[in-house]
Homo-oligomer: A and B are copies of this chain.
Amino acid sequence: MKPSNRDKLLAQGMRVVHELGYSGASVRDIARAADVPLSSFTSHFASKEAYCLEILELYYLGTAALIGRTLRNDALAPLQRLRDYFDRHENVIEANGVENGCLMGNFSVESAAHSETIRLRLTAMFADIESAIAYALDAAVAAGELAPIADSAGLAAYLFASFQGAILRAKVEHNPVHLQRYKELLFSRILT
> Which residues of A approach B to under 8 Å, CB–CB?
19-24, 99-101, 105-106, 108-110, 112-114, 119, 122-123, 126, 154-155, 157-158, 160-166, 168-169, 171-173, 178, 181-182, 184-185, 189-190
Contacts and interface: CB of A to CB of B under 8 A. Distances in A.
User: Do most interface residues of chain A lie in helix, strand or loop, or is the interface mixed?
Assistant: helix
Contact of A21 (B100, B101, B110): B110
A113 B20 contact: yes
A168 B23 contact: no
Contacts of A157: 169, 178, 181
Contact of A109 (B110, B119, B185): B110
Given A20-B114, A158-B185, 12 more contacts: A23-B23, A23-B24, A105-B109, A109-B110, A112-B172, A126-B172, A126-B173, A154-B185, A161-B166, A162-B162, A163-B165, A164-B168
